[in-house]
Structure 1
Amino acid sequence: MVSTQKYPRKRWLMLLLFMFLTIMVELQWLTHAPIARVAQVFYGNQLTRFSWLTIDTLALVYMVMFLLMCVPASYFLDTYGIRKGIGFGAILTLIGGAIKGFFGHNILLVFVGQLILAVAQPFILNGVTAFSARWFPGDERAMVAGFLALAQYVGIILVMVVTPSLVVAAAADVNYGQGVDHMLWIYMFPTVLSALLFLWFFRARPEGIREGSDVQNLGFKAGYGHLLRSKGAWLTGLLFVIGLGIFNAISSLVDAIAAHLEVTDSDGLIGGIMLIGGIIGALILPMLSDKYQKRKPFLVLCIAGMLPAVAGMAHAPELAQWLGMAHEGVYQIALASSFLLGFFVMSAGPIGFQYMAEITHPTPEATSQGFLLLVGQFSGIAMVVIMGLDKNAYLGVMLKFFVPLAILALVLVLLLKESPKMGNP
């Protein structure tokens, strides 16, 4: 699917603007997660006044609002276009980030700001394939989806690494628990800047580029109907139910998994290594998919790579014993498995989004991508709930259950047909 039209260099500026906005909305998601105990001390009595509001609620609201707003966001993007759709997300990002920055000392107002940011997220994330279809030729679109996935991972890594240094996190310090409001104030500035730059400079499509048949879509309702009648769409959706669900579950419970593996202090490395693997994978595999004009072989590779990663995570103690490794070997196997899981699953996402857009055309791109994100979010939440029942009593069982699920995913991906757009001018 190589275009004969010459796309302007400005497309890279549009991509950078979109990436900057994506980084900040993902960073704002987890501002309190790496310093949960510090934030608990900082807000102290405020939390006792609102029994429903905890530090964990600030991260959970993103997941819940994505479920509620995913379909409306896709409808808005498909109906009014990416500049208005993603732009609306940028406006909400600006407002939510400013509220958290100015009122970081008040947990209730921080929650209000977080709620607004949570509504903004699907308007931004669901616009990826629609953006790439308008600004980039067909042989660069999976790469663009990979870069925007990379932006999500960068935002998460930044907040995990930088946040502890912006607060008093040493338990022995007499000022322990201070600085949370200062941290939110600092994060407000790049968040507001990313939104303002996007709103000022971003354009819906390049001038002088003829809109091809690949971006002439059905309406939202007709597009969803067309998607649901596609066998390939259902197979791809099942792959995301399994792959994205497993990834969301493991990434949400990295500390609990470390405890299950009897790792005394993981320092969040299991999650961090997973994200590093994802960044490397998102840079390499989508680009190769575009270069060789193939989608299915790379999806097969990603799912095949997920299988040993999940097996290693689930059976790390047994593997360490079989290999004659000391107890520290369990942690090493878990880290290696985490890297593989991030590398293959997080790079499968961008390729899968682009594949879905191609096989379900003329369904609008925001609709097809939103569908995949929605089913993956549903399954991820379900897996997290099951794994967390009775104080994580079923965590080990679920980790082992992920292995046959990964085998099922490998069977399903082999049933896919190659994208009809590959190799066509």
Structure 2
Amino acid sequence: MEPEVASPRRWSVIAVYMAVNLVVQTLWISYAPISRSAESYYGVSGFAIGALAMVFMAAFLPLSIPASLLIDRRGHRVAVGLGGVVAGLCGVARGAVGPSYGWALLATVGIACTQPLLLNSWTTVAARWFPRRERATAVGLVTLANLVGTGVGMVLPPALVAAHGPAVIGPMQLWIGMAALVVGIAYPLLVTDRPARGDVDLAEHALQTHGMRHALSVGPFRRYLTAIFIGMGIFNGVTQWVADIVAPRGFSATDAGNVGAAMLLGGVLGSVSLAAWSDRVDRRVPFLVAGLALAAPATLGIALASSLVGLLGSAFLLGFFLVSLMPIGMQYAVEITWPTPAGTSNGLVQLCGQAAVVYVALLYVARTPGGSYWPGLALSAALLLVGAMRFARAPESHEHHARASTLEG
């Protein structure tokens, strides 16, 4: 059921929701740009520091479906509030334990366990508070918040370590955890599950009869899951290993930070502008096909560019086209799998994206003896092109449902 009048509170709701996602995203990535300093601080290997980020994707796999069920049955107010508070408590604990890697890893596992409650509720918040014509835009804004959170996690830690040395890592984690705790407590106090009018998409209540089995029976949805697995694997892999990717070509750690910043800037602009454009024309497939196809040469640029300008340009374009797959594609997933609830389809998308931790690890394993990542990135570019060609045959959601109705009739 499409709300007749959109609630003006929807923008304050999405703002608070964005804040929770932003801070937890910062907790996720905050070790990546200071991996060498973190190795010294904790006295462990580089892969052990990388595990502090990869554990988020690993924890997502068993917890995504239970999180989606909680969101669908208890609402995003309870689920996101719980996730924010637990993430904040574990973030504070991670900072409080100081240079003890074992305890820091345990606290990180606690933070990682809350992430499905946030990521799987994106389209639920959009469906309950926004009219259909604004939902991809709403998800685009949440994507923006995640990118800004990633940006803060990429920029703030190196600046603090440069100013105060590795000893600042513990206090920094403590303060980020406190920020997560504050917004986590604020969320259930400031947000309700839906507008007071009670307008809601009736598909939300269809979990018992049209759940995951129905969603997975939809061919275009399965194609999107494949695309998001590849796309998220590339994005997370480049984000996680950016310093190692560019180092064999003589680029510095500062250059690596700038590459990450360029990719995030492109992602910010792409996720908001392309999602809004998709909403205006009420089409999803052309944007998804173009995003997959145009991300392929950008991925090759990341792998092979020998100049800083070429590298930064490739990073910007990769972020612009690849990140836009998320808000537009997630709304497409909700529409194409109707009447599967938004939380369920969103959870399956996020589950597939987070399963790309396997892809991230494979990029690391597939390096050449000289440390170059070009074999894995070249394969990634080829897979993006294959995905674009397969998705070019996918129907828009209204075409799919019209065809299904005709067959049933």
What's the TM-score, normalizing by structure 1? 0.86
Q: 1:186 aligns with which of 175, 183, 186?
A: 175
- Provide, for residues 257-304 of structure 1, a one-character-per-residue CA deviation record: whole Å limited to 9, x for no partner: 202434344242222211110011112011111112111222222223
Corresponding position of 1:402: 380
* Range moving further from structure 2, 99-108 or 366-375: 99-108
Question: How far apart, CA to CA, are the structure 2 residues paired with 1:148 and 1:5?
Answer: 24
- Give how far 1:35 is off: 2.1
Corresponding position of 1:29: 28
Uncovered stretches (5+) of structure 1, i.e. residues with no partner: 318-328
Q: Does 1:418 align with 2:396?
A: yes
Corresponding position of 1:310: 299
- Give how far 1:315 is off: 4.1
Match of 2:290, as an amino acid? L
CA contact (8 A) 1:281 1:344 kept: yes
- Give how far 1:105 is off: 4.8
Superposed, 1:310-389 pairs within 5 Å as: 310-317=299-306, 329=307, 331-378=308-355, 380-389=356-365
Corresponding position of 1:322: none
Q: Does 1:252 align with 2:230?
A: no
1:184 to 1:315, Cα distance in 2 relative to 1, 3 A: closer
Question: How far apart, CA to CA, are the structure 2 residues paired with 1:387 and 1:94?
Answer: 31
Q: 1:217 aligns with which of 206, 228, 231?
A: 206
Higher Rg of the two aligned structures: 1
1:269 to 1:290, Cα distance in 2 relative to 1, 3 A: same
CA contact (8 A) 1:104 1:185 kept: no
- Give how far 1:253 is off: 1.9
CA contact (8 A) 2:26 2:149 kept: yes
Uncovered stretches (5+) of structure 2, i.e. residues with no partner: 403-409
* Range moving further from structure 2, 257-266 or 12-21: 257-266
* 3-state SS, counterpart of residue 397 of structure 2: coil
CA contact (8 A) 2:140 2:275 kept: yes
- Give how far 1:113 is off: 2.2
Q: 1:290 aligns with which of 279, 287, 297?
A: 279
Match of 1:241, as an amino acid? F
1:188 to 1:385, Cα distance in 2 relative to 1, 3 A: closer
CA contact (8 A) 1:8 1:206 kept: yes
* Range moving further from structure 2, 408-417 or 386-395: 386-395
Match of 1:11, as an amino acid? R
Corresponding position of 1:325: none
- Give how far 1:103 is off: 3.2
Question: How far apart, CA to CA, are the structure 2 residues paired with 1:165 and 1:52?
Answer: 20
* Range moving further from structure 2, 53-62 or 150-159: 53-62
Corresponding position of 1:326: none
Corresponding position of 1:71: 65
- Give how far 1:13 is off: 1.2
Question: How far apart, CA to CA, are the structure 2 residues paired with 1:136 and 1:421?
Answer: 23
Q: 1:137 aligns with which of 119, 131, 137?
A: 131
Question: How far apart, CA to CA, are the structure 1 residues paired with 2:271 and 2:332?
Answer: 15
CA contact (8 A) 1:90 1:120 kept: yes
Match of 1:129, as an amino acid? T
* Range moving further from structure 2, 263-272 or 250-259: 263-272
* 3-state SS, counterpart of residue 26 of structure 1: helix
Question: How far apart, CA to CA, are the structure 1 residues paired with 2:39 and 2:245?
Answer: 23
- Give how far 1:33 is off: 2.4
Corresponding position of 1:6: 5
Corresponding position of 1:242: 230
CA contact (8 A) 2:92 2:173 kept: no
CA contact (8 A) 2:96 2:171 kept: no
CA contact (8 A) 1:358 1:421 kept: no
CA contact (8 A) 2:39 2:46 kept: no
Question: How far apart, CA to CA, are the structure 2 residues paired with 1:109 and 1:384?
Answer: 24
Question: How far apart, CA to CA, are the structure 1 residues paired with 2:166 and 2:92?
Answer: 22
- Give how far 1:386 is off: 2.5
- Provide, for residues 189-233 of structure 1, a one-character-per-residue CA deviation record: whole Å limited to 9, x for no partner: 3222111111211211111133343434223x8411101111111
What's the TM-score, normalizing by structure 2? 0.90
CA contact (8 A) 1:296 1:419 kept: no
Q: Does 1:122 align with 2:116?
A: yes
- Give how far 1:53 is off: 9.4
Alignment RMSD, CA only? 2.6
